[in-house]
Structure 1
């Protein structure tokens, strides 16, 4: 039998001041300054969707539209260079553009962050002329990964050999595995230049991987020595992903993006202030960290948008209420609003963790190396966790919208597949989590205890205390990393790979637990920062629901370790069910706090109570009184 709750409680009017307070929680204290431009621009005509029912654009038309919008966006900016130098601005771009036009978010992120941002980072004396890229007479792209080298991009095999006679570099692709894989290098969108990651040889010595600025196409054709072929269509939004190779392409010495990691002087000698080829490579592609922040932002924005659509639709999609009962909105059913309440708790957690990682990276990016590395590790962990959570939320919300959620015109399908790109872009999630796990399996254990564990092993607190729940989450993390260390210690001799294989499972679960703990801590801090009142109550319910669902999944370990009592474990399910009821009653209010422009929501038929009118047929019998429509009439 389906459990129901009072439909009127679920669909109560939105309390504006509560939604506003929660918007500040989600978007930050300076939400208007940081996000206002992007909220306004996606509500303007160039970024609106065509009305249903005309057929949607083809993939090539979508691609052309995205590049046209990129130029419109660039013209609306006061400075493309300022945006490229601002991690917050870049994150906000992705947070708002990704749900509207994932293709646009992709090409904009590549141009402003990976391409223009890298040029600015390495052009410390501002001697390079960037006017073509700032005016978008040329679009920038980024060529790092190769057919045979993705997450191991430090091993790329494209070469850049210094030619002292011509005082420049010769780029060459030695074999098929060294073809650049996935960059948007086609002639779509206009002339392009790329930053090419290549192995630098000077005097026959391999100095590691550096970036070089290389013109790729002009207004008419691919430039001599450059070969570009479109890859097969991929899932998700259409981007002109290509294979790109070089046949003895010459560029001047100024094409090298050097700096402290290395330069070739006027005397033709390579000098570097950075020891080790791997460190030089990481310095060259430092913009990847900002890119991971942007992938988190894309996922956060897409998950929020999908959830807002699902909440709206479920409030005005009516089904039979049973014998002699009026129709009910589907959101009245526990089987429907329960998953949406859980998704709401997760989406707030994703947003708060994203803000925490962004804040820490911005504060540390120019600071001491240990702080920068710690902040970068949080960015990596957050990117993996947030994009995986976004996938779960988006798929759940699509299903809650039934067949309507399968139609492209209703705004969800593109996000279902689009999040897969974020999961893989800027480093596959599993690869970057495995790297974090290998670093944290030793270092994270003391940290977990220092940040609120129970040194004496005894529980102290209740399930309504967010800080106590945070300490429980710290213990889940500690348990997993301790388990990993124990397994590695017991592994039979056979080298580091066998030891890592023995301990990698719990170590990866420890990284997941770390993400949950960081998100729960950000939740608790946000609750504490709010004044007493309805907004604080709403956020506290969400925070507890989020933490307790994770604690329930790990209750066996916590019980065995003595951090939960049997009575607490027995009460978890009932407490969670009560919180689901509390959160579900305010779903429209919580969705309103996302700050999505009404113009944006209006472009998707199912967000409106009169959504069925989108499918009206002016020539059907209910309009014509039984007269036949003209032969061959169609949309």
Structure 2
């Protein structure tokens, strides 16, 4: 970008009037006229709302899924298991749901609005348990019917008290006995107790996939998953000890700490997939030389889990925004020189905060779609490609597949952290904008906090998975930096692509800074990494933002109606400006912005918010959240009627 450009050359000016979409004097799209929310729904849901989403909006609007006040934690836990069974009854093919990433992610987008406990149970049962079981049981030795029909719930026991993100080092052992051709599962130390699986009493019969260190003839062969029956209607099975953990506010999942005292399981319990084999004579073979990589192959469904959790958090954020924006139009307050007052949304400070949150929710949605597409392109082909070596074009295909899988892994990790953190910030904003009403569980917003906090921690703590992604990006694994000499986009100087160019330049700055820190001399590898890690994390954030922005602009181009496209374009510009504002100093220092442009950042946000304010209800209507799912009195007309008292003194009829 030419640093000599003035602020007016790339920042938006005010609307120039008119009831239809047109170009303003500075080239920006003027979002006049009526926005077609159904077109925004179409682009937000990738044209597949009817195919992937509508069923769940109808199912989860039923009475069973409505908010119930005053339930105890055990009652809420049992209700969540009952609800999961009801969801399962609506699935035509559980195997297809589990193996089709887009379908599983779509389900979680709606579960995340309704019940955080139910969401956790669904993620564990469908993604981690059934997903791993169906993928690793290549010979179809195990009958999955009890689990697909939910006669028995599945859980997963990986994390140990002493081993979380370093689970490859866990201590639980599964020792092979060649004389009986079975395994003895054992918890050798206090630190090896399985931490936080839902192995409690709620839900009835359960089995688990237990991550344990396979010991064959005294040799440590690495960590694999074993299918282990855990409890029946009477309680834990012999040799299995289950102790409830303390309450998690806002959650009723029956989390527990679980240990094994020399529990014998058959050889069919070992789920070695296609990357290892234990022969009948007790010999272990694996095509994967590294024990750590064997473990990562065993828990591959964690990647899909990151997408499911991102979807659940984002669904909650979209529901909160729908409630808050509607309430902002219905809650009246005082106004200067007004006797009747105005809706609180009439105030610019309310508009900029909520519209900024709406813009981030749109960006997060487009980033989620991009990550799901990438995961679908790279996932299963890596497994097939890894065995293709030695045959010309097959080798090339394998290399491409591995590269695509690495790209997808970095993108999914970056997206998970970005989306779940953004979702938490959005819900926090919505809660505040709803005032005291936002503190009531009946209005749903406050109950979204704990489930979103869980998504930030589960399937890898966000900070840890971003740290790994940062290391991969700095070493060139799964990351192709945008060209540093990328030319400024053509067209009007206010075109949104110029804002994307600035996001690209910010990412390049982050990459350069992180690489310079990595190059600092140090004899201590940890000290060297500590010099680098914070700039590297900024790189991951910039990368996720840029990918979200690219997906966002691509979506703008798919909207046919000019007015609706103009509003979506304005919303993108609000997103981009608010994301660029904290980095204006470095962009100024490197000559990508002028001082005048930096001064105009905040006024530009105000102007765009003023343009978008008349369309706020349509923007959240596009989230397509039915009232049956929202269940929030303040999201409806005449919400005060929910608090009416039929015996109140105002009900009395005055005679005479």
- Which TM-score applies when normalising by structure 2? 0.89
Cross-structure match for 1:57: 71
Instruction: State how 1:168-567 maps to structure 2 within 5 Å.
Output: 168-367=182-381, 368-443=401-476, 447-450=480-483, 453-454=484-485, 464-491=494-521, 493-567=522-596
CA contact (8 A) 2:187 2:261 kept: yes
- Partner of 2:275, secondary structure, is coil
Rounded Cα–Cα distance in structure 1 between residues aligned with 2:194 and 2:530: 31
Deviations 1:293-341 (A, max 9, x none): 0011011101000000001111111112345532211111112121001
Quickly say closer, same or farther: Cα 1:164–1:539, change in 2 above 3 A.
same
Tell me the SS of whatever aligns to 2:257: strand
In structure 1, the residue matched to 2:138 is 124
Q: Could you report, residue by residue, the CA deviation over 1:519-556 in whole angstroms, capped at 9, with x for unpaired residues?
A: 11111111122225111011101111111112221111
1:138 is matched with 152
Residues 196/468 of structure 1: CA separation in 2 closer, same or farther (3 Å cut): same
1:623 aligns with 2:656: no
Alignment of 1:95-174 (within 5 A): 95-174=109-188
Task: Provide, for residues 446-504 of structure 1, a one-character-per-residue CA deviation record: whole Å limited to 9, x for no partner.
Answer: 93342xx4358x8987662222222211111111121122123234x232111110111
Q: CA deviation at 1:204?
A: 0.4
Offset at residue 567 of structure 1 (A): 3.4
Change (3 A) 1:322 1:475: closer
Unaligned runs of 5+ in 2: 1-14, 20-31, 382-400
Aligned residue for 2:203, secondary structure, equals: coil
Give per-residue Cα distances to partners, 1:165-193, cap 9 Å, x unaligned: 22111110011111000100012111000
Moved more, 612-621 or 184-193: 612-621
Contact kept, 8 Å, 1:459 with 1:564, in 2: the verdict is no
Deviation at 1:599, TM superposition (A): 2.1
Map Cα deviations across residues 404-426 of structure 1 (whole Å, 9 max, x no partner).
Answer: 00001111111022210000010
Q: Deviations over 1:97-134 (max 9, x none)?
A: 11111111110111111001101001223232111111
Counterpart residue number, 1:23: 41
Range moving further from structure 2, 565-574 or 380-389: 565-574
**Residue-pair matches, total:** 607
2:206–2:229 Cα contact (<8 Å) kept: yes
Judge conservation of contact 1:464–1:544 (CA < 8 Å) in 2: no
Structure 1: runs of 5+ lacking an equivalent? 628-635
Q: Which has the higher contact order (CA 8 A, sep 6+)?
A: 2
Change (3 A) 1:261 1:608: same
The 1:537–1:508 alpha-carbon spacing in structure 2 relative to 1, beyond 3 Å, is same
Q: Out of 315-324 and 345-354, give the one that drifted further.
A: 315-324
The alignment's TM-score, normalised by the length of structure 1, stands at 0.92
* Distance in 1 (alpha carbons) for counterparts of 2:252 and 2:479: 46
Q: Report runs of 4+ in structure 1 exceeding 3 Å deviation.
A: 14-17, 444-447, 453-456, 458-463, 624-627
Larger displacement relative to structure 2 (321-330 or 14-23): 14-23
2:58 alignment partner in structure 1:
40
Please provide the CA RMSD for this pair. Answer: 2.1
The whole-number CA distance in structure 2 between the counterparts of 1:545 and 1:382 is 20
With over 3 angstroms needed to count, the CA separation of the structure-2 counterparts of 1:540 and 1:626, relative to structure 1, is same
- Structure 1 475/461 Cα, relative in aligned 2: closer, same or farther at 3 Å? farther
Indicate the larger mover: 74-83 or 225-234. Answer: 74-83
- Tell me whether 25-34 or 306-315 shows the greater mean CA deviation: 25-34
* Kept in 1: contact 2:35–2:567 (CA 8 A): no
How far, CA to CA, are the matches of 2:72 and 2:479 in structure 1? 55
Match of 1:610 among 638, 642, 648: 638
